[in-house]
Amino acid sequence: MVETIERDRNDLFAYKWGERFFKNPKTLFAVRSMVLGVFVYALVYGFIHPEASENHFTTAIFWSFFWPFFMFLSLPTLGAYFCSVCPLAFVGKKIIKRKGKAFKMPKVLKNPYISLGVVLGVYWGLFYAFPAVFAKPVAVAFFYTFFTLLAFLFYFLFKDMSYCAHICPISAIRNAFSRISFMWLGSYRSACETCTTFECAKMCEFGQSPFNFDKNNSMGDCTLCMDCANACAAISYKSKGFGFSLSQPIRRARAVDVWTYLLLFAFMTLTMKLTTNFNHSDFAAWLPWMWISNGLKGLFPHSPLNFEAVLTLLVSVSFTLYVVYIGFKKAEEKLGIDKKTLFTEVGYAYAPLALVSSIGVAFTSFFTRYFHNVVNGFIEAFHLPFHFLEPLVSQDTGWLQLFGIFDFIAVGWTLLLLSRRIDLVSEGKEYDVKRLAFWWLALLPVSYLILCLL
């Protein structure tokens, strides 16, 4: 442990404002308390005012602020900062420090696919299937109250922050997509080489070793709580460039991260693209999934299930899995590398395709829905003396199409990473062999690019 250290210029902790905002315990406590207050108020407000006609606040907080802020603002820039100020983790740490004997979480519950399954099936799946239900504030309040109670149960039963690390719906997304961030929590090797106390690791409620983050090219389950940074001055929070770790060898590459990229691409990016570009087009009536959807609507006219959204989602997932299977199968044949190694090592290249391509949709939604929803929600819930806002722009505003550039950035970045990561695992292979493998693995981004151009 060291008390002071000379910091690099790209380390935010080298600046008073950076240290004060991202590291200072009092600042973090104030921000976390404020977020907790808004979270609890939004839930209570949802139960008191259950109908959408009388409550814009609850749905605005969880649908128009929470996911856009977490997925499209904080993750690509600051990393897992949202987890740092998460209200459940804030309360969970208090519970863990004050409770008595606790159990060690069973190994079966530490499966990272649980978190991925929850966010895809319970969150996105239900949202697509029953959008009318989750447009009601009371349904949103029940939904998030369930996860709040589940989190508290885990905090009481098990040691450490087991819920946040293994069960929380956003933990799989956090771990996978924080690699795109240009901020990175690490340490100064010169200080760590002579360390014998390892205070940073002792302070971590997640069992992480921050002094190994740089060496492993991975921050693991780090939530940027900054307990380690306050325990030892050798901890750094540096700006290293967008997605810098994706082009380097990853010592602990995980298949679950790659599946997170691919399935979220299918659930979010591709499903939204099919919905906007095809389902509402002049030739929508010719699409097979729209035929089936219209037929099911005729058979079950009063069903709360959104047949169109569910079928579009199934098409997106099926298409993604099929194209990826073919691509990796052919690449394996060309390179002579086993499928597991190829998937876990090269698959990280698909990260931009899943997240960056959705940023354009997020920006469009900000101007057409999110901004006025959130502002109007606060005006209503806190009885502020202002008139409700109208959408900043309409859906058909021409310049909104400029945000489509994120699709091309995502595809281009993915192709560059594919080339780089293929080189990392195929050293000594002939150029023609690597080129063929590259184009097979590029089937998914190229297919998406074609859809964007249609």
Of 212, 229, 251, at which residue does a domain stop? Answer: 251
Q: In the chain, count H helices and then E strands.
A: 26, 2
Q: Are 237 and 345 members of one domain?
A: no
Question: What's the total number of domains in the chain?
Answer: 2
Non-local CB neighbours of 328 within 8 Å, separated by 6+ positions:
339, 342, 343, 440, 441
Per-residue pLDDT, 207: 82
Same domain membership, residue 286 and residue 163: no
Pair (241, 349) in one structural domain: no
Burial call 163-174: b when 16+ CB within 10 Å, e when fewer: bbbbbbbbbbbb
125/235 same-domain check: yes
Provide the pLDDT for residue 100: 60
Judge if 238 and 295 occupy the same domain: no
pLDDT in tens, the chain (454 residues): 778 889 999 999 999 999 999 999 999 999 999 999 999 999 999 999 999 999 999 999 999 888 777 767 788 888 888 889 999 999 998 888 776 667 888 989 989 899 999 989 988 889 899 999 999 999 999 999 999 999 999 998 888 788 888 889 888 888 887 888 889 999 998 888 888 888 899 888 888 888 988 888 888 888 899 999 999 999 999 998 888 888 888 888 899 999 999 999 999 899 989 988 888 888 888 899 999 999 999 999 889 999 999 999 999 999 999 999 999 999 999 999 988 999 999 999 999 998 888 888 888 989 999 999 999 999 999 999 999 999 999 988 999 999 999 999 999 999 999 999 999 998 888 999 999 999 999 999 999 999 999 8
CB atoms within 10 A of CB 103: 10
The residue written with tokens 């606790």 in the block is 102
Cα separation of 272 and 71, whole Å?
A: 15
174/166 Cα distance (integer angstroms): 11
**Whether 345 and 389 share a structural domain:** yes
In this structure, the answer to whether residues 174 and 277 fall within a common structural domain is no
CA 102 – CA 13 distance, rounded (Å): 35
- Mark which of 206, 233, 251 sits at the end of a domain: 251
Q: Is there a single domain that holds both residue 99 and residue 16?
A: yes
264 and 200 in a common domain:
no
- Look at residue 428 in the predicted model and tell me its pLDDT: 83
b/e sequence 308-337, b meaning 16+ C-beta within 10 Å: bbbbbbebbbebbeebbeebbebbbebbeb
| Same-domain pairing of 152 and 273 | no
Task: Answer yes or no: do 92 and 11 share one domain.
Answer: yes
Beta bridge partners of 158: 103
* Residue after which a domain boundary falls, among 194, 227, 251: 251
- 238 φ, ψ (degrees, to nearest 5): -105, 150
Regarding whether 266 and 178 lie in a shared domain, the answer is no
Q: What is the per-residue pLDDT for 446?
A: 97
Boundaries of domain holding 106: 1-251
